[in-house]
Structure 1
Amino acid sequence: MRTNIKVQCAALAVLALANVHAQAAETLSVVTFGGAYEAAAKKAYFDPFTQATGVTFSTESYDGGLAKLSAMEQAKNTTWDLIDLETNDAITACDEGLLKKFDKKLLGKTSDFIPGSISDCAVASMVWSTVYAYDASKMKTAPTTVNDFFDLEKFPGKRGLRKSPKVSMEWALIADGVDPKDVYKVLGTPAGVDRAFKKLDTIKKNIVWWEAGAQAPQLLADGAVVMTQVYNGRIDDAAKKDNKPFKAVWDAQVYDFEWWAIPAGAKHADTATKFIVAASQPKSYADLSKYIAYAPPRKDAIPLVDKQRLADLPTAPANFKRAVQINANFWADNADQINKRFQVWLTQ
């Protein structure tokens, strides 16, 4: 009897040890927008989780959209465990069943999250913003408003824009005189869409299009453009870490949440869920702001952020005067239609 018990205990010990090693060897496949954000996420989110659990990460970069995720889900061969999503894609993916539902109770206290930062299928990883930037060493007069971005007479030269109608359409209307609070009311009409494209026509010949976030600061560094639309974290990273003389213009910044979500067919869904819970703690959010200028979506994290760093974040009072929160539902409902027109407009 004692021998059997010893054998059984030894077997259980071996199984337990094997399970520990299996967990330690587990790798989460993550797709993000790459660049400065992925580097910051590695320090604030990935490395601490690896240290705590032994789980490692394999990362892949993309520029948004759901085509690849949808194709993998349809083929029942999903290779991603965790996906970094923009808001409208998070909404659409959830509606189309491409993502697993997320149990909000796992987050514990949720009242301190910024309203709208937890959805049925995703949890916000940070608050980010699209701004425009310029090289202060090359401009005698500093641009200060979104109108300046469209003023080729006062500020001649090329403009960098993401190859997408999002944000560019909003900026075009604001530069054409629409109050930021009325942007989506106007953009929601055929006349408003016409008006936005007409304003974009005024700088079309001077636009240099970029598709990956890392390209925007590089265009500025190369002198290919005098101003460029850019993610605020990217330009802050170039200025702080690479000592580039780049300045951000916060007027009419369009801010949004970034989201962590788990594909419906993820092979390591349970571990991915544990990661999201860990990454959504106040300290984790505050740590992210150390490495990139993105703001915590959780109020309890704000006191943990250095006061000087707060000035670089989208939600700082001085930066937030004419901010526009991107209307995710608008883009979820209208992205296909406006994108089609945008593609036609590009060829005209």
Structure 2
Amino acid sequence: MSDTVKGKFSGTTGTVSRRSVLMAGAGIGVTLATPAIWRGARADSGLTVTCWGGKYRDGIDTIFAKPFTEETGIPVTLIDNADLAKMKAQIDSGNVEWDVFDSVGPQIMSGSKQGLWEKVDESIVDRSDLAAPGGDDNVGTYLFGGGIAWDTNRFPDGKHPVDFKGLWDVDAFPGSRGLRPRVSENLEMALIADGVAPHDLYPLDVERAFAKMDEIKPAVKTWIEATPQTVTLVANGEIDFSYSYISRIRPAQLDGSTLNISMMQTLNSLEYLAVAKGTKNREAAMRYIAFCLRPDRQAAFAEKLYFTPNSMAGLEAASPEAREYMPDMTNPNNAILDDAWWADNYTDLQNRFTEWLLL
């Protein structure tokens, strides 16, 4: 991510007022107008969009999927799976079941390098308002932040890690850990824990990172496949410290949970949307992406799940309360995943990481 884009994510831009965006079209808290049914090439069987489950799924359904269906008449089915290998298998077999792939930069960019996505239809998808417009075959949707989560009832101040070095320090902070089973994010955390400055991460020193992963592996009780479990396993006391996301912990807090997440050090990355190569619903899928990029939808998603909108007008429209929990791009302790580096390295390193997990 360039310094220019980082700057755009760090504050408001443009001259559009918050009220004007919130009230435009299908605004936040405003009932959608009578649907203007789209009469273009229809996806009569509906669209299938990958998702991440839990509160994220609820947000996608409420802010994007259902309003899109109301406006266009096209049903949207959400699938709690963003497995790049499964997506590739569908495309290679010519039996595409997932029309829109919603995933993190390393997976999207690896898929792009493998030719898995349809080219973005610029006549449908307007990227002029985006801080990070994406590539020829993908579109950035929002910035998310991940960090260390714990239960404040079990671990008061001083008894839990607040950065990745502390997460690796099982002597200072004894307890079980929960990490994700994907190579991206883990290698970055490992290198930061080993003393690499966040702004000096790339190109990743892969051997050094795996050696550091060897150190924490005995303390990792669960390699968490389903994102909602980064919250529930801690809340249930099954693990002590988890790598989770602001967008998961903050909604849990609002529901009364005693969980917390450190904002002192986070990993930050863009989430993307891409349309599967060979889908029979290409035009409808492009319409869905365009809908998700509308400033009012972007701002509404930020209010619900505390992501940083990729739409600059959507970012400006976000409330101060939502901004308080968005990733801080001015904090030198925070790191940003380099999607371009992962485009060249994700597949091979994910295969190596999967084998490492079995050792």
- SS of corresponding position for 1:225: coil
Does 1:207 find its partner at 2:220? yes
Give a deviation string over 1:127-182, Cα, whole Å, max 9, x none: 11221111111113243222211111221100110112221211111111111111
Picking from 219, 223, 238, the partner of 1:224 is 238
Shift of 1:296: 0.1
Identity %: 27
Q: Report matched runs for 1:19-38 at 5 Å.
A: 26-38=45-57
Shift of 1:305: 0.8
Higher percent of residues as helix: 1
Structure of larger gyration radius: 1
CA distance in 2, matches of 1:203, 1:210: 15
Query: Residue 54 and residue 301 in structure 1: after superposition, are their counterparts in 2 closer, same or farther (change >3 A)?
Result: same
| Contact residue 84 and residue 258 of structure 1 kept, 8 A | yes
Q: Report matched runs for 1:300-311 at 5 Å.
A: 300-311=313-324
Unaligned 5+ runs, structure 1: 1-18
Q: Report matched runs for 1:177-192 at 5 Å.
A: 177-185=195-203, 187=204, 192=205
Runs of 4+ aligned structure 1 residues displaced above 6 Å come to none
Give a deviation string over 1:316-336, Cα, whole Å, max 9, x none: 75xx44221111122222223
CA distance in 2, matches of 1:299, 1:286: 10
Q: Which residue is equivalent to 2:64?
A: 45
Structure with greater contact order relative to length (CA < 8 Å, sep ≥ 6): 2
Picking from 277, 282, 297, the partner of 2:310 is 297
Q: Which amino acid is 1:283 matched to? A: D
CA distance in 2, matches of 1:201, 1:94: 31
CA distance in 1, matches of 2:356, 2:113: 29
Does 1:138 find its partner at 2:118? no
Q: Which residue is equivalent to 2:110?
A: 92
CA distance in 1, matches of 2:257, 2:211: 34
Shift of 1:34: 2.2
TM-score where L is the length of structure 1: 0.85
Unaligned 5+ runs, structure 2: 1-37
Q: Which residue is equivalent to 2:353?
A: 342
Count of residue pairs the alignment pairs up? 320
Query: Residue 147 and residue 181 in structure 1: after superposition, are their counterparts in 2 closer, same or farther (change >3 A)?
Result: same
Q: Which residue is equivalent to 1:113?
A: 130
Q: Which residue is equivalent to 1:276?
A: 289
CA distance in 1, matches of 2:87, 2:356: 27
Q: Which residue is equivalent to 1:54?
A: 73
Larger CA deviation: 32-41 vs 155-164: 32-41
Picking from 235, 238, 248, the partner of 2:252 is 238
| Contact residue 125 and residue 287 of structure 2 kept, 8 A | no
